[in-house]
Amino acid sequence: MPEIRVRFEDLSVGYEIPKLARSITREDVERYADVSGDRNPLHLDDGFARSVGFPGVIAHGMFTMGHLAHCLTDWLGDPSALSRMDVQLRAPVFLGDVIVADGRVKALDPKMRTVVLDVWVTVDRDGSVEYPIRRGEAEVRLPAE
Amino acid sequence: MAEEAAVPMNPALEGKVYPPVPFTVDPERVERFRAAFGEERDIVPPTFVTAAEWAVFPGIIEDPGLELDFSRVVHAQQEYEWRRPLVVGETLTVRPRIASIREKGGHGFLTVETELVGADGAIVVIARATLIERGV
């Protein structure tokens, strides 16, 4: 069984979690549409995506959020510590993009052993940085020693 | 392409509760979900909850009374509150309701709040999805 490997005592405001990058392919988007059940043509049909103003299909916002959650569970070691996430999906993610999930501790409650993090996801397109998720928030609850 | 006249969502549906639907945390589907994210540990990924939401979203999106044009929809915001991780093989009850319908800046905002309830009756996850219907 996976175990929580983050100790509350090791954290402080400003602590940065390890970033996690991944590229987005058409196969990723199609596979996610199948497994999630979200078969909106915006993610599957280039012609439809163009008809609503995008250059082609875009990745699911929930794929971006899922990648961010993966970044958090990678850091934590176990999903049982993750108690809340709240994100706004601000910019589309296109095929070929590399999304980078990241986060930083912004508040700690020693009594409740909860940690609130700012979390975000960036895409760097030729030096221009977009934020598919800009000011997301995650809350983590860590067990007593 | 000519734009069709956009009809705003029907605000009277705010608060509407939809019938609960059972959702089993299927091991094969969890496996595929983990593979989609490159998750190598033996866990149910936290956002697997999305699959449970999609068990009930079609019934809301296609509710004729709502007058939502799904071809104009993009996902704008998502919140999850997890009381515990999902367990492979368990069957949850998925209880959706329309938490709010708003109009702002020429766009419609629909928030669906979905509770996932365990076999013991305790809430396991609360999900809030906000969809934007563009250009109403």
Domain ranges in chain B are: 11-133
Q: Do B32 and A28 touch (CB under 8 A)?
A: no
Closest chain B residue by Cα to residue A86: B79
Those residues with Cβ within 8 angstroms of residue B26's Cβ, 6 or more apart along the chain or in another chain: none
Q: Is the pLDDT of residue B2 over 50?
A: no
What pTM was estimated for this model as a whole? 0.95
Residue A142 has pLDDT above 70, yes or no: yes
CA dist., res. A135 & res. B80, Å (int): 15
Least confident of A31-35, B71-75, B128-132: B71-75
Measured from the Cβ of residue B48, the count of other Cβ atoms closer than 10 Å reads 26
Substitution target from B39, B47, B81 for chain A, most A beta carbons within 10 A: B47
Q: Tell me, what's the ipTM?
A: 0.95
Instruction: Please give, rounded to a whole number of angstroms, the shortest distance from the CA of A97 to a CA of chain B.
Output: 15
What is the CATH number that goes with domain B11-133? 3.10.129.10
Q: Is B104's Cβ below 8 Å from some Cβ in A? A: no
pLDDT at residue B135, as a whole number: 84
* Interface residue A26 vs chain B (CB under 8 A): no
Checking phi first, is residue A39 left (phi over 0); if not, alpha (psi -120 to 50) or beta? alpha
What is the rounded distance in angstroms from the CA atom of residue B79 to the CA atom of residue A88? Answer: 9
Confidence of residue A31 (pLDDT cuts 50, 70, 90): very high
Is the model's pLDDT at B48 over the cut of 80? yes
Is A81 at the interface with chain B, CB within 8 A? no
Decide if pLDDT at B1 tops 50: no
Beta bridge partners of A114: A109, A141
pLDDT reading at A42 higher than 80:
yes
- The mean pLDDT value of chain B amounts to 94
Mean pLDDT confidence for A116-136: 96
Q: How many A-B residue pairs are in contact by the CB < 8 A criterion?
A: 106
Check whether B5 has a pLDDT greater than 80: no
Task: Catalogue all structural domains in chain A, each as residue range(s) with its CATH number.
Answer: 8-24+59-141 (3.10.129.10)
Percent of chain A with pLDDT over 90: 95
pLDDT value for B7: 80
Q: Which of B26, B41, B123, B133 to mutate to test the interface with A (most CBs of A within 10 A)?
A: B41
Task: Specify the DSSP class assigned to residue A66.
Answer: H
Angle between the N-to-C axes of helices A26-36 and A61-76, in degrees from 0 to 180, rounded to the nearest 10: 90
| Confidence grade of residue B4 (pLDDT, cut at 50, 70, 90) | low
Chain centroid to CA B19: 14
Residue A87 has pLDDT above 60, yes or no: yes
The predicted pLDDT at position A2 comes to 80
Residue B45 has its nearest CB partner, among A52, A69, A87, at A69
In percent, the amount of chain B with pLDDT more than 70 equals: 95
SS3 label, residue B123: strand
For residues B56 and A84, is the Cβ–Cβ distance under 8 A?
no
